[in-house]
């Protein structure tokens, strides 16, 4: 399951810090209905800098359980995520715009969105029910946020209970609904036995609907004592029959879904005054969705035997005729043939009687999507078996814009790569356009713009419609001094090597494929050497790279390893120290062919390396700092009195032996930022830093003798991202109230090549990249520009198609310098045999005219010594087989083809 950050600091009084802020869009700012407590004036001198912020592009990476179209304004749509906030669709850019980046550290739970509602009477109004967990993991109660400017700004009504945007059952819904006839009236279905709630003043105040008889009784796992699996999933959706009201008067007929397998649908026929269970309804299932086709009067239910989103072994689809009161089972397959539940559900508002549904929990061999054009009497499937295991698809799937969605997989039929999806609990047909449909998966938003080709026997084209929606949880970050500027360790999808921050990487880390990468490191003086560790159902839990993370190979592991833990690389790459879950701290020389237990350091300690002395490693656990000077063989306890509670992270300064910064703690004990200049023998706490949770380093400012320090911290009474260019004597807040991203305590690092650039981890909003506008920072390190190889250059080229799919392919190219002189810049040319076209390239730039392609080095890989090789890769489109080019040229000279 996806879990958000651990509980963090108690609520902090909101304090706006005066700063010049460069914002590319209207800032979204929360305004509480209650005035925040006054804060003490800061006695810390804080400077200010103007920063711009963007995501390092990954596109998606997490579960999208809800998509909502407004039914009165074309192209107005919203998406909700379980831990990464809410988004509004921008039709002009065909991308999503984040709406909740203002959520702050103390209310981090508000980044989990359990439901969305768009007002049909006043489309500028939108509502979000927020809160991540219903148990103690989330320190704050849930809230209903309301906006009158489409999410550009918000006000909050805090509820007397918690909401569970990342709890079991989060794909059901929508729990929040606006009365289409009297839009001052809203309903909210609550979890945890809290029942049904109503607002009559456009979401300003809320009260319980005491007449509603059933708060639900279903829990995913009643034996779970954590408050997670055993929580009552409660009231799960609200649907109005707009025909039973008129503008200005409350809708009379309201349908409500309840997490109760024997009593899952209730109705009011008097505007919510009284409620009753609808007779004849299906039992033994939970209604994940309830959608009413007002043109036909049919209420449709998608049902599953569990609450999802991961589980579900049986399911049905039922139809209720609101005029006659007759129920009918209109499931597309027999109950005995289901091994999944149904959830995603939508009706075509332009074509009455047309509806679609998803088999959300069909993990293998793929999800399934069903479509009916006759009110559920008959159905067709997105794919069918021809002769098992072969299948015929009614769709084509092009992931060239987000190529990692194939997971680098090459499965045997009937599985395919990329998959149509999984956890497909949200599916919506555009109410204005029968050809457009979007659906959410566990990793992305897919969509089509020629859906009706399904009905005419043609193929409809599915592509990712996820640009701008960044939902990864970030565990660790690294920015080497050469090679790719950014390496990441991510939850759920492993991690990426970014050679271009504005381009989607071709593939996540593979060999091994880790479910979640927990830690990574590179050798400071040999940054081609990289190590990563993480969680996986099976071994190995560790991988190594010798080319800066471009390619990986699996390592062995000590006995008993159950999870990733933390890992450190020697400064020169000569060895590694690993503190995995399930086993004690171990060390290895080489690349993990054998491991030896370290002594003197407790299991579970966090480990890091000195960035200059390759024989020095550091460790920390429970308030004590440990040091090894013999390459990790033995550790000795050194400084004590450091934070014994909370999350603690530390880093050693690149290029300087024994200079260590440590951040962490908890409000109930020691909490702040410490520095050691004697290899951990002693630490000094920095005054003025009340709390700190992560620390990192970047390029020094112009004229400064010390590298820039970045922290996620509370300084001067203000929570934010801070920068210091004078060893922590003074601090500059570099984010602003519109860019807070909830919890940012996992990792932070500056870029050693670009002054002021910082990479910030979030828990659901991906990797945030901050760029300074300060002109005195020293600028970027100049890299060699593209040039021509020397006249006597020799070259050999290996071209390999590594993956193909319908309409596209992926290829890798390796260029070897077979001459006697180094390249100082290179350009490789070839012509495609057919209609192939490069759609995205990494580790190079390219130009293409017709079939002719020229690939040019990027700054960091311009120099290629005699006998050395350089590689790059790309994805391409093709209507046929992606054949390899017959010839290549380098600087006009022919290359040998290998």
Number of helices (H) and strands (E) in the chain: give both, helices first. Answer: 1, 72
Please give the C-alpha separations between residue 220 and each of 224, 791, 843, in angstroms, as whole numbers. 9, 70, 46
Q: Residue 154: in which H helix or E strand, if any? A: strand 154-158
Query: Cis bond leading into 389, ω under 30°?
Result: yes
Q: Are 304 and 314 in contact (CB under 8 A)?
A: yes
The C-alpha atoms of residue 196 and residue 202 are separated, in whole angstroms, by: 16
Q: Are 331 and 316 in contact (CB under 8 A)?
A: yes
Q: Are 610 and 617 in contact (CB under 8 A)?
A: yes
What SS3 string covers 779-848? CECCCCCCCCCCCCCCEEEEEEEEEEECCEEEEEEEEEECCCCCEECCEEEEECCCCCEEEEEECCEEEE
Structure tokens at 819: 């001459």
The C-alpha atoms of residue 459 and residue 323 are separated, in whole angstroms, by: 36
Say if strands 486-490 and 497-498 run parallel, antiparallel, or are unpaired: antiparallel
Q: Are 685 and 738 in contact (CB under 8 A)?
A: no
If you compute the radius of gyration of the chain from its CA atoms, what whole number of angstroms results? Answer: 28
> Under 8 Å CB-to-CB from 892, ≥6 apart: which residues?
none
Q: Are 382 and 420 in contact (CB under 8 A)?
A: yes
Structure tokens at 216: 């639900």
Per the listing, tokens 């009937």 go with 414
Residues facing residue 520 across a β-bridge: 532
Q: Which active-site residues does the annotation give?
A: 82, 492
The C-alpha atoms of residue 426 and residue 412 are separated, in whole angstroms, by: 28
- In degrees and rounded to multiples of 5, residue 751 shows phi and psi of -100, 125
Q: Are 251 and 267 in contact (CB under 8 A)?
A: no
Indicate the burial class of 887 (C-beta count within 10 angstroms; 0-12, 13-18, 19 or more): exposed
DSSP one-letter code for 406: G
Say if strands 731-733 and 46-48 run parallel, antiparallel, or are unpaired: parallel
What SS3 string covers 577-615? EEEEECCCCEEEECCCCCCEECECCCCCCEEEECCCCCC
Q: Are 697 and 710 in contact (CB under 8 A)?
A: yes
Give the closest residue to 749 by CA, choosing from 473, 484, 485, 483: 485
Q: Are 222 and 214 in contact (CB under 8 A)?
A: no
Structure tokens at 183: 């839009």
Structure tokens at 283: 């039992």
Q: Are 313 and 341 in contact (CB under 8 A)?
A: yes
The C-alpha atoms of residue 377 and residue 254 are separated, in whole angstroms, by: 25
Q: Which residues of 343-362 are buried (b: 16+ CB within 10 A; e: fewer)?
A: bbbbbbbeebbbbbbbbbbb
Q: Are 288 and 302 in contact (CB under 8 A)?
A: yes
Indicate the burial class of 660 (C-beta count within 10 angstroms; 0-12, 13-18, 19 or more): buried
Per the listing, tokens 């309301």 go with 146
Indicate the burial class of 604 (C-beta count within 10 angstroms; 0-12, 13-18, 19 or more): middle
The C-alpha atoms of residue 707 and residue 274 are separated, in whole angstroms, by: 67
Give the closest residue to 301 by CA, choosing from 382, 364, 352, 236: 236
């Amino acid at each position: 399951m996806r879990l958000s950050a651990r509980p963090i600091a108690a609520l902090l009084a909101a304090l706006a810090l005066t700063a010049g802020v460069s914002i590319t869009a209207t800032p979204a700012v929360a305004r509480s209905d209650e005035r925040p407590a006054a804060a003490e004036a800061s006695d810390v001198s804080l400077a200010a800098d103007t920063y711009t912020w963007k995501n390092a592009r990954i596109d998606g990476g997490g579960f999208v359980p809800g998509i909502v179209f407004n039914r009165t304004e074309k192209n107005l749509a919203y998406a909700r995520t379980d831990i990464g906030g809410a988004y509004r669709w921008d039709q002009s850019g065909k991308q999503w715009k984040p709406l909740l980046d203002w959520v702050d550290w103390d209310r981090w739970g508000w980044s989990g969105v359990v439901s969305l509602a768009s007002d049909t009477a006043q489309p500028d109004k939108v509502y979000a029910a927020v809160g991540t967990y219903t148990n103690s993991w989330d320190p704050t109660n849930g809230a209903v946020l309301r906006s009158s400017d489409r999410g550009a700004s918000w006000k909050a009504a805090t509820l007397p209970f918690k909401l569970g945007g990342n709890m079991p059952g989060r794909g059901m819904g929508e729990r929040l609904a606006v009365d289409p006839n009297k839009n001052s009236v809203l309903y909210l279905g609550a979890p945890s036995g809290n029942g049904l709630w109503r607002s009559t003043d456009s979401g300003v105040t809320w009260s319980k609907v005491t007449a509603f008889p059933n708060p639900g009784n279903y829990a995913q796992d009643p034996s779970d004592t954590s408050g997670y699996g055993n929580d009552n999933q409660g009231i799960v959706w609200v649907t109005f029959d707009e025909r039973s009201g008129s503008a200005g008067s409350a809708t009379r007929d309201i349908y409500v879904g309840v997490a109760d397998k024997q009593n899952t649908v209730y109705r009011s026929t008097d505007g919510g005054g009284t409620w009753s269970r609808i007779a004849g309804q299906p039992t033994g299932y939970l209604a994940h969705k309830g959608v009413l086709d007002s043109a036909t009067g049919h209420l449709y239910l998608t049902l599953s035997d569990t609450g999802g989103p991961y589980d579900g072994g049986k399911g049905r689809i039922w139809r209720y005729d609101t005029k006659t009161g007759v129920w009918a089972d209109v499931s597309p397959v027999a109950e005995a043939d289901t091994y999944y539940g149904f959830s995603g559900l939508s009706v075509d508002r332009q074509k009455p009687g047309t509806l679609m549904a998803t088999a959300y929990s069909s993990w293998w061999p793929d999800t399934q999507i069903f479509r009916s054009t006759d009110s559920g009497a008959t159905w067709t499937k997105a794919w069918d078996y021809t002769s098992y295991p072969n299948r015929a698809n009614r769709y084509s799937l092009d992931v060239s814009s987000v190529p990692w969605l194939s997971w680098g997989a090459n499965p045997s039929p009937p599985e395919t790569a990329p998959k149509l999806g999984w956890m497909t609990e949200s599916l919506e047909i555009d109410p204005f356009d029968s050809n457009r449909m979007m659906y959410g998966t566990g990793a992305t938003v897919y969509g089509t713009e020629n859906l009706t080709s399904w009905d005419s026997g043609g193929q409809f084209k599915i592509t990712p419609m996820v640009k701008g929606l960044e939902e990864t949880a970030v565990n660790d970050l690294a920015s080497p001094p050469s090679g790719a500027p950014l390496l990441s360790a991510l939850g759920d999808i492993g991690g990426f090597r970014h050679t271009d921050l504005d381009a989607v990487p071709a593939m996540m880390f593979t060999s091994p494929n880790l479910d979640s990468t927990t830690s990574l490191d590179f050798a400071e003086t040999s940054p081609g050497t990289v190590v990563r560790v993480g969680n996986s159902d099976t071994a190995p839990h560790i991988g190594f790279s010798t080319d800066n993370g471009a390619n990986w190979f699996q390592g062995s592991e000590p006995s008993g390893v159950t999870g990733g833990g933390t890992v450190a690389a020697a400064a020169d790459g000569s060895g590694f120290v690993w503190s995995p879950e399930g086993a004690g701290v171990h060390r290895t020389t080489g690349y993990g062919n054998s491991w030896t237990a370290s002594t003197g350091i407790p299991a579970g300690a966090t480990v890091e390396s000195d960035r200059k002395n390759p024989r020095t490693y550091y460790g920390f656990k429970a308030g004590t700092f440990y040091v090894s000077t013999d390459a990790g063989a033995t550790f000795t306890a050194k400084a004590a009195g450091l934070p014994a509670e909370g999350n603690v992270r530390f880093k050693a300064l690149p290029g300087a032996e024994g200079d260590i910064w440590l951040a962490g703690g908890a409000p109930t004990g020691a909490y702040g930022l410490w520095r050691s200049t004697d290899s951990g023998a002693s630490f000094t706490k920095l005054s003025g830093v009340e709390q700190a949770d992560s620390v990192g380093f970047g390029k020094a400012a112009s004229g400064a003798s010390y590298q820039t320090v970045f922290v996620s911290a509370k300084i001067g009474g203000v929570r934010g991202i801070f920068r210091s260019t004078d060893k922590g004597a003074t601090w500059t807040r570099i984010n602003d109230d519109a860019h807070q991203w909830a919890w940012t305590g996992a990792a932070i690092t500056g870029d050693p090549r670009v002054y002021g650039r910082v990479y910030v981890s979030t828990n659901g909003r991906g990797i945030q990249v901050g760029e300074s506008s300060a002109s005195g920072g020293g600028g970027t390190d100049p890299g060699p520009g593209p040039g021509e190889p020397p006249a006597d250059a020799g070259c050999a080229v290996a071209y390999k198609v590594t993956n193909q799919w319908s309409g596209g392919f992926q290829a890798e190219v390796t260029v070897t310098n077979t001459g006697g002189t180094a390249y100082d810049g290179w350009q490789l040319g070839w012509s495609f045999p057919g209609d192939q076209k490069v759609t995205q390239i990494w580790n190079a730039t390219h130009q293409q005219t017709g079939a002719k392609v020229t690939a040019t080095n990027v700054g960091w890989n311009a120099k290629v010594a005699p006998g050395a090789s350089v590689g790059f890769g790309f994805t391409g489109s093709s209507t046929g087989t992606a054949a390899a080019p017959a010839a290549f040229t380098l600087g006009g000279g022919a290359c040998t083809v290998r």
